[in-house]
């Protein structure tokens, strides 16, 4: 195998090349891969063909079944909406995904405003129920999406409970700690608007690492875990690990204000899900933050 493939399996590169049109490289001898960083789940590379065109290729030697197909579906769902740009899917296989390559730029104040306005458009509610047409993944972990007309039921049964069970079964959380999270869930009805949220299309994993800016300064969403849910979930995730300036939240609120009520408690309630995901991915280092959010909600 040529030394220019940056560790990518030869069969993956061949399959990706086969998805490209006539005039592109058809031989491994005429393609070059340059590894790129950033992902904690899958290796990735910039793929340059002999025509000079550049693509983004990521792969996994043993991915969970359907991982890349579900990611491709999520990206297509975002690109089908007049919201924030997402990379075009050019090809997908069981252990690889080929996307358009986004040349990185530097974010400006205008970039954050465009992101807020685009996210507000993405979040325009529709008539659908909560959930999604298929289960997918958040990172490498399975994400259940069976549709449900009741948001409280969906959040409890399809988001928090699967992660709690996984954490307790793996010994990452004690049963008593899990009960604190359950107590926070018992307050969902009173923390939501009187009629409850309407289903909005969510990115589903909106932390700063999943937003890039292109050369024109336009935001681009990557690595989504889409479903329909309360739009406040995306905003709560965006506040969890930093990276989003205050101006982003202010522009969003001006465009599409969130319901009145205990916003900080609602935010903590929704942050329980990504924190539990981190417990299951990275261990007990995230249990403390999870329990702090749970106590904040359950004891307020």
Q: Which residues contact 158 (CB under 8 A, 6 or more apart)?
A: 131, 143, 144, 145, 146, 148
Catalytic residue among 50, 205, 218, 230: 205
Residue 44, beta-bridge partner list? 36, 58
- Cα 8 to its chain centre, rounded Å, is 24
For residue 205, indicate whether it is catalytic: yes
Spatial contact of 172 and 283, defined as CB atoms under 8 Å apart: yes
Enzyme catalytic residues: 205
């Amino acid at each position: 195998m040529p030394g220019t493939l940056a560790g990518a399996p030869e069969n993956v590169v061949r399959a990706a090349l086969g998805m490209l049109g006539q005039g592109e490289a058809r031989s491994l001898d005429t393609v070059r891969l340059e590894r790129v960083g950033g992902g904690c789940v899958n290796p990735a590379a910039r793929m340059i063909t002999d025509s000079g065109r550049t693509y983004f290729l990521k792969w996994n030697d043993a991915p969970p079944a359907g991982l890349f197909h579900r990611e491709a579906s999520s990206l297509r769902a975002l690109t089908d909406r007049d919201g924030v740009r997402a990379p075009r899917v050019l090809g997908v296989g069981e252990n690889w995904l080929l996307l358009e390559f986004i040349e990185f730029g530097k974010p400006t104040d205008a970039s954050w405003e465009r992101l807020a306005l685009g996210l507000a458009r993405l979040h325009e509610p529709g008539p659908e129920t909560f959930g999604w047409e298929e289960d997918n993944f958040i990172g490498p972990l399975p994400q259940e999406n069976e549709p449900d007309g009741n948001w409280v039921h969906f959040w409890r049964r399809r988001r928090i409970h699967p992660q709690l069970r996984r954490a307790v079964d793996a010994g990452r959380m004690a049963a008593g700690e899990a009960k604190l999270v359950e107590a926070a869930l018992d307050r969902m009805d009173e923390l939501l608007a009187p009629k409850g949220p309407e289903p909005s299309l969510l990115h589903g994993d909106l932390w700063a690492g999943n937003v890039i800016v292109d050369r024109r300064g336009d935001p681009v969403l990557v690595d989504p875990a889409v479903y329909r849910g309360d739009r406040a979930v995306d905003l709560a995730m965006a506040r969890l690990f930093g990276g989003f300036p205050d101006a982003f939240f202010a522009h969003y609120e001006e465009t599409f204000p969130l319901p009145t009520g205990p916003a900080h408690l609602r935010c903590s309630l929704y942050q329980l899900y990504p924190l539990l995901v981190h417990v299951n991915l990275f261990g007990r280092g995230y249990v403390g933050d999870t329990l702090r959010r749970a106590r904040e909600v359950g004891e307020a």
